[in-house]
Amino acid sequence: MPDDEGLGAFAACGLGGCPRSAGQARGFVRTTLISWSLPSLVPDMTLVVSELVTNAVRHALVPPAPPLEHPVWLGLFRYPGVVVCAVSDPSSTPPCPRDAGDAEQSGRGLALVGALSQSWSWEQAPLQGKTVWATLALPADAV
């Protein structure tokens, strides 16, 4: 992720880690980007965030998941030229891109994230867990 220098805006929300979390995250992204006057980023950012949150819920919160009110956190950071989304979860297992076959109905999430974002990666948390992040370029007319 870019360093904190030049951070123009930040917003975060805690998610409960249930199947509805992706929908809650999409609503948060939509509201935040519109409040930042970036409506053109809403379609791509909501898809990227939806995939990252779905992965966190599906793969990071397997039993025995920690009994936390908000086991998944979503952060949006606006920097000069980019918006970064970051999804944190309590699992230390790295994200694992895979080649989904034509007949498979899942397994393309990280490929979509890679296709829609400038870059994506992940970082291990100091004690436990990880953060998966992706950057999307600001539109040319964004201030």
Q: Name which residue leads in pLDDT, 36 or 17.
A: 36
What's the whole-model pTM score?
0.84
User: Residue 102 CB: number of other CB atoms within 10 A?
Assistant: 4
Q: Total domain count for the chain?
A: 1
Residue 132 lies in a domain: yes
**Residue 26 covered by a domain:** yes
Residue 3 lies in a domain: no
pLDDT in tens, 91-139: 888 887 666 555 555 556 788 999 999 999 999 998 889 999 999 999 8
Within a domain: residue 72? Answer: yes
pLDDT digits (tens, 9 = 90+) for 62-75: 665 555 666 899 99
